[in-house]
Amino acid sequence: MEDQATNELTGPAPALTPTAPSGSTTKQLFQRCLIDNVREGVIMVDQYLKVKLWNQAAEQLTGIRGPGMLGSDWLPSYIDLRDRFDKAIPDNACPIKESIRKAEQVMLAATVTGRGGRRMAIELHVIPVMGRDMGVRGAVILMHDQSSQVDLEQQVLTLYAHATRDQLTGVANRAHFERSLDARIKEFHAKTTISSLIVADIDFFKKINDDFGHHIGDQSLISFAKILQDNTRTNDLVARYGGEEFVIVCPNCTLESAFERAEEIRLALSQAPISALNGKNMTASFGVTEFQTGDTAITAFVRADQALLLAKESGRNQVRYMEPKKTDDAKETSQPRKIQSDIEWMNLKGNLLLQQEGEITCPLEILVEKIKGVVAQNEYKIGSAEEGYVQILVNKPSGTKPSLINRPLALVVDIETKENIPSTQSKRKCLRIRITVRTLKNRDRRHKDLDQKAKQIMNQFIGDLAMFRLVEEKLEAPESRY
C-alpha cells in the first residue's frame, strides 16, 4: 500500500475526473471519490514540491483549475498565501517546504485569493507523508474554508463594540460601565480587594459648544477621552457616562492612589493644548472615592459624584474625594470629611463669615507667588504680612456712587500657613493652610449679597491656590446692633 501511495506522489500526475481511469481498483475508485467530494481543499506535493493532486474544493477556494497545476512547482505566491495579519508569505519561507524538511505537521491561519479576487480565510494544515524508511515522500495540504467563521466572529465583535463602546469617543459606554462597576463591587465584597472610582467632568463645556460649535465640542470630548486613556492603566475601565462626564473604574487601587491618578490627569489636561480649540487648554473637575463595606454600584457612584460636585463648587479644575466611613453599615455622605484641627491658629478678631482649612502640595515659595497672582489679577490689596500670615483687603466697587444702601463690600481674607505638617492624604509632610473671610465693619453684615460674595471669594482662593479642603465652617453672625 505504501508503494502505491509513493507511486501516486512520484509517478505521473493522475487526472482529476469524476470517474477513475480505466483499470483502477475499487479501492482507488473510493479514494478518488472521497478526495473529489470532501469540503476541504486537498493538494498533494512530492518531496520536490511538485504538485501531484489538486482536488475540486481546492479549485473552488483558489479559483485555479487543477489540471493546470499538476506537475507544476508549488509556490505560496501562486495562491497569494498570506498569514492572519495579511502579510504575504514569501516563496522562500514556504510552510509546506518547512514541513517536508522537518518532517513535522504545520497548522496556521491564513488567507488566499479566491475567485474574483476575494480574500478567503483558511486554516492550512500540512501533513508530511513518511515512507517505511522514515524518509519524507511529500506532503498533503489541507485547506479548510474559514470565511463563514471569520465573518461570524467579525459580526460578533462588531455587535459587541456597538453594545459596549461609546460611538463618539471609543471608550466604554454607560451600560458597559454600569455592568463593570457592579462586577467590581461584587468582587470587592467577595475578595475584599481595594478598588476606587473616579468621576470627571469637563469644566464650562457648554461655553465650548457655544463659542466653537457642537462639532468642536465633540472633538474636545474625543481629546479628553484620549488623555484619560493615556494616563490610566490597561486594567482600568474608562467610560463616558453621559455628555461631558466620564468615569474611571480603578481595580486594586487605594483612595490615595486614585486621588494621585486623578491629579495627574487633571494636570495633563490643563497643560495640553487642544487642537480643536485652536491650541487653547481646557480643564476638568474630579471626584474620587474608594469602595466600602456595604456598597452597591449606586452608593459608590453617588459618593464619587458628590465629591465631583464639591470640586465644582470649590472653583473647578481640582480633585476632591469622599472617604469611606469605617463602619459596618456604609452610609452615604454629602459633606467633606470633618477633621478636628490640631493646628494652633491665630485668634482672629472681627466678624468672621467663612473659614476653610486645607492642605497645599506645593512649597511655601510657590504658594506666595500664587497669592501675589490672585491679588494682582483681581486688584486686591495686601493689608499686612508676616511669617505664616497675610491679610488681603477685598473692596469691590459697585460701579455706582456709594450710599447707605448701595456701598462697596469691605471684606478681608486672612491666609495662615503652617509648614511640615503630617498630611491627612498621604504619609508625606504638607503645607497646612487656613483661609478666613470676614468683614471689616459690623454693619456690613446687613449687605444682601454678603454670604454669596464670601462664598465666591473663598472658592476663588481655594481654586487658584489648589488647596485640598479638609474642614469647612460657616460662622454664625452676631446679633446686629441696628
d(CA 301, CA 200): 12
pLDDT of residue 406: 45
Tell me if residue 8 is catalytic.
no
pLDDT of residue 482: 27
The grid coordinates listed for 402 are 456709594
Contact 64, 79 (CB under 8 A): yes
pLDDT of residue 19: 42
User: What is the SS3 string spanning the chain?
Assistant: CHHHHHHHHHCCCCCCCCCCCCCCCHHHHHHHHHHHHCCCEEEEEECCCEEEEECHHHHHHHCCCHHHHCCCECCHHHHCCEECCCCECCHHHCHHHHHHHHCCCEEEEEEEECHHHCEEEEEEEEEEEECCCCCEEEEEEEEEECHHHHHHHHHHHHHHHHHHECCCCCCECHHHHHHHHHHHHHHHHHHCCCCEEEEEEECCHHHHHHHHCHHHHHHHHHHHHHHHHHCCCCCCEEEEEECCEEEEEECCCCHHHHHHHHHHHHHHHHHCCEHHHCCECCCEEEEEEECCCCCCHHHHHHHHHHHHHHHHHCCCCCEEEECCCCCCCCCCCCCCCCCCCCCCCCCCCCEEEEEEEEEECCCHHHHHHHHHHHHHHHCCEEEEEECCEEEEEEEECCCCCCCCCCCCEEEEEEEEEEEEEECCCCCCEEEEEEEEEEECCHHHHHCCCHHHHHHHHHHHHHHHHCCEEEEEEECCCCCCCC
pLDDT of residue 9: 52
- Going by C-alpha positions, the residue among 75, 58, 82, 59 that lies closest to residue 144 is 58
Contact 316, 283 (CB under 8 A): yes
- Going by C-alpha positions, the residue among 248, 254, 247, 244 that lies closest to residue 234 is 248
Contact 236, 249 (CB under 8 A): yes
pTM: 0.44
Q: Which domains does the chain have, with CATH numbers?
A: 2-150 (3.30.450.20), 165-322 (3.30.70.270), 351-474 (3.30.530.50)
d(CA 141, CA 125): 6
Question: Residues with Cβ < 8 Å from 393, sequence gap 6 or more?
Answer: 380, 381, 382, 383, 410, 411, 412
Is the Cα dihedral 294, 300, 304, 307 positive or negative?
Answer: negative
pLDDT of residue 304: 94
The grid coordinates listed for 21 are 481511469
pLDDT of residue 307: 92
d(CA 315, CA 203): 10
pLDDT of residue 193: 79
d(CA 145, CA 119): 11
Is the Cα dihedral 164, 166, 171, 175 positive or negative?
Answer: negative
pLDDT of residue 469: 58
Q: Which amino acid is at 452?
A: Q
In order along the chain (482 residues), what is the average pLDDT of each group of 10 residues? 48 42 69 81 92 89 86 89 87 90 89 81 90 88 78 63 85 92 91 89 93 93 95 94 95 91 94 89 94 91 92 91 58 38 74 83 82 85 89 66 49 90 73 86 56 81 70 42 29
Is the Cα dihedral 443, 445, 449, 450 positive or negative?
Answer: positive
Specify the long-range contacts of residues 87-93, CB closer than 8 Å, at least 24 apart. none
* Tally of CB atoms within 10 A around 30: 12
d(CA 355, CA 471): 8
Ramachandran bin of 317, using left for φ above 0, alpha for ψ from -120 to 50, beta for the remaining angles: left
d(CA 323, CA 307): 9
**Which is the catalytic residue, given 8, 153, 187, 244?**
244
pLDDT of residue 131: 86
The grid coordinates listed for 471 are 474642614
pLDDT of residue 171: 94
